[in-house]
Structures are given as C-alpha cells and as structure tokens.
C-alpha cells in the first residue's frame, strides 16, 4: 500500500482531534473537570502527532543525496518515534500529574452535564477517525490479528493512528466514567481517578509505540512471507542453482534493500552471469514490489559436484 492510505487515516484523525480539543477545553472552562482538561491536552497531543506524521511523510519523499545515498524513507519511522515521545510527555505525564492533584485536593464540578455532552460527541468523532484507520489498515493486516499487525507492520503511521484512536476512545470512556461517578456520588475524587486512568492508558500505549518504532528505526528485515517469495524468485531464475545467503532491510515503509549471494554453475560465462543477475532482479521486484534496491553477488556452486556424486 502506498502512503496515500496512511495519509487519509492521518487527516481523518487530525480533523477529528482538532475539533475535539477545542470542545474539551471549552468543557473544562465551564465544568472545572480535571478529566476534561486531561482529555483536552490528550487531543492537543494527538493533533500535534498527526501533524508530525504528515511532516515525516513529506520529508521521506526527498530525493537521495550524497550524504544520504539510500534516501530519506526512514524519516517516517523517526517521526513516528517522536510521536510516541510526545504522547508520553504531553499526554500521559500531564494526565497523571493533574489526576494526582485532583485526588489529593478534589474540587466540585460545575455544570457536569456539559462535560457529558461534549464527551459523548467526542466519542462519535473519535469513532469516525478509528473506523477510517481500520479501513485503511485492513488490506495490510491480512489474516492476522490486529496485535500482530501492530507488531509486524512496516508501515509506521497506521499502527500509530490505530493505537492513538484506541487510546482516545478508552480515554473518553474513562473521563465519562469519572464525571459520571462524580455526579452520582457527589465525590469529585472520581474525576481525579478517571484522569489518572487516562494517564496510565496513554503511558502504556506510548511505551508500546516507542518499542515498535525503535525496532523500525534501527532497521527491520522483510517479513517471513516476503523472504520466502524473494528466495523463490531467485532460485526460480534460470542458471541460479541456489541462494547461498540472503539479507534484507526496510529503508522505508515501501522501500526494501535486498542483498544476496547466489550460486551459479562453475562453467557459466560472464555474459550468462550478467543476464542471470538481470533476470533475478526482475523476478524479485515482480514478487515483492517493495524491493527497490538489489545487490546480488554471483558465486560458483561448489556443491554441485558433491550433489551429483
């Protein structure tokens, strides 16, 4: 999938979170709810995150230079990692801090129904954003679970948006729970507890994202299915006896580097070697379109005689 699917999911989340952030800040000013304030800061962080993801996509499209000869595809991984840091620092830490103070020194809410209405509307908008991310992610997800998709995807933006939207939906439910229990019991400490639950949730999501984005940033190989397809393409090429060794790495979500040593018959002439390499490269690119750079090292198949014997 090209970056266009990711961009649609990011834009949907950006528009939803920007509108929600304004509504939540208004709700906080009216009600004084710490849950509303935590959720407002959460939405601001999410809006900033989507802007960072768009920036990463833009910078990744730059042409390769003498200094960065393999291009800038990893910019998308880097900015996704920054998003995880922003989510933790702005979202989780603030929510935990604000919730702690509300539990230690609780204050009654004013016009709590305003907060309830805003939270319900926000749930609807976040559901739209979440649905868009799910629709764009489903072709990449395949038959695996959503957790497997988050762990294995080489596309950084879609797992980020999916986890952000999941966190936003649960955060809204926690805020609604905190405000609701405050209204039912008359004890504003529940508002602070709801806020701390939001902070803990965001912290967990941020840590998961940091782990996954760090793995992409330092370089992940092709998936098992892609490795098998590359090996089949190489070994199915005329004059290629076998693959001696194979190494792959993603330079960007749609840019894979392949390096392999291939065994050819000992009596192969130079022209045939050159033609075999060209054919092998074409076969690999047809099998796995993400492969953009291929380095093949021909070698003699010294095991041919042993196998024949």
What are the pLDDT digits (tens) for 46-59? Answer: 888 888 888 888 88
| pLDDT tops 60 at residue 1 | no
Domain total of the chain? 2
The strand pairing partners of 264, in sequence order, are: 300
Tens-digit pLDDT profile for residues 250-291? 998 889 999 999 999 888 888 999 999 999 999 999 999 999
- For residue 155, give the CATH number of its domain: 1.20.1510.10
**Residue that terminates a domain, selected from 218, 244, 264:** 218
pLDDT at 293: 92
Burial (CB < 10 A; 0-12, 13-18, 19+), residue 195, is: buried
Mean pLDDT of the 87-116 span: 83
The residue segments making up the domain with residue 242 are: 224-308
Tens-digit pLDDT profile for residues 220-250? 999 889 999 999 999 999 999 999 999 999 9
Closest by CA position to 38, among listed 151, 211, 157, 175? 175
Instruction: Spell out a b/e string for 88-113, using b for 16 or more CB atoms within 10 Å of the CB, else e.
Output: bebbbebbbebbeebbeebeebeebe
Question: What is the pTM assigned to this prediction?
Answer: 0.79
Sign of the torsion formed by the C-alpha atoms of 287, 290, 295 and 297? negative
**Residue that terminates a domain, selected from 191, 218, 245:** 218
Share of the chain above pLDDT 70, in %: 95
Q: Do 303 and 272 fall within a single domain?
A: yes
Closest by CA position to 75, among listed 135, 150, 156? 156
Mean pLDDT over each residue of the chain, to the nearest integer:
86
């Amino acid at each position: 999938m090209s970056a266009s699917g990711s961009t649609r999911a990011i834009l949907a989340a950006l528009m939803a979170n920007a509108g929600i952030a304004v509504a939540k800040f208004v709700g906080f000013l009216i009600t004084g709810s710490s849950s509303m304030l935590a959720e407002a800061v959460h939405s601001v962080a999410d809006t900033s995150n989507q802007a960072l993801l768009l920036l990463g996509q833009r910078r990744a499209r730059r042409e390769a230079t003498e200094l960065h000869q393999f291009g800038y595809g990893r910019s998308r991984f880097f900015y996704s990692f920054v998003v995880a840091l922003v989510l933790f620092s702005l979202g989780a830490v603030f929510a935990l801090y604000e919730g702690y103070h509300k539990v230690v020194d609780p204050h009654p809410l004013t016009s709590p129904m305003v907060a309830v209405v805003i939270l319900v509307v926000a749930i609807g908008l976040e559901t739209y954003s979440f649905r868009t991310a799910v629709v764009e992610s489903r072709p990449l997800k395949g038959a695996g679970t959503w957790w497997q998709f988050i762990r294995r995807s080489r596309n950084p933006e879609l797992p980020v948006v999916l986890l952000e939207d999941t966190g936003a939906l649960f955060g809204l439910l926690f805020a609604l729970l905190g405000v609701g229990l405050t209204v039912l019991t008359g004890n504003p400490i529940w508002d602070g507890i709801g806020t701390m639950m939001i902070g803990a949730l965001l912290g967990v999501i941020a840590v998961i994202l940091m782990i996954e984005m760090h793995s992409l940033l330092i370089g992940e190989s092709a998936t098992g299915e892609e490795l098998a397809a590359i090996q089949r393409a190489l070994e199915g090429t005329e004059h290629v006896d076998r693959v001696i060794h194979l190494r792959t790495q993603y330079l960007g979500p749609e840019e894979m580097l392949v390096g392999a040593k291939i065994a050819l018959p000992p009596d192969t002439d130079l022209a045939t070697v050159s033609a075999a390499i060209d054919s092998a490269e074409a076969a690999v690119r047809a099998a796995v379109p993400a492969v953009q750079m291929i380095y093949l090292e021909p070698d003699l198949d010294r095991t041919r005689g042993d196998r024949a014997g």
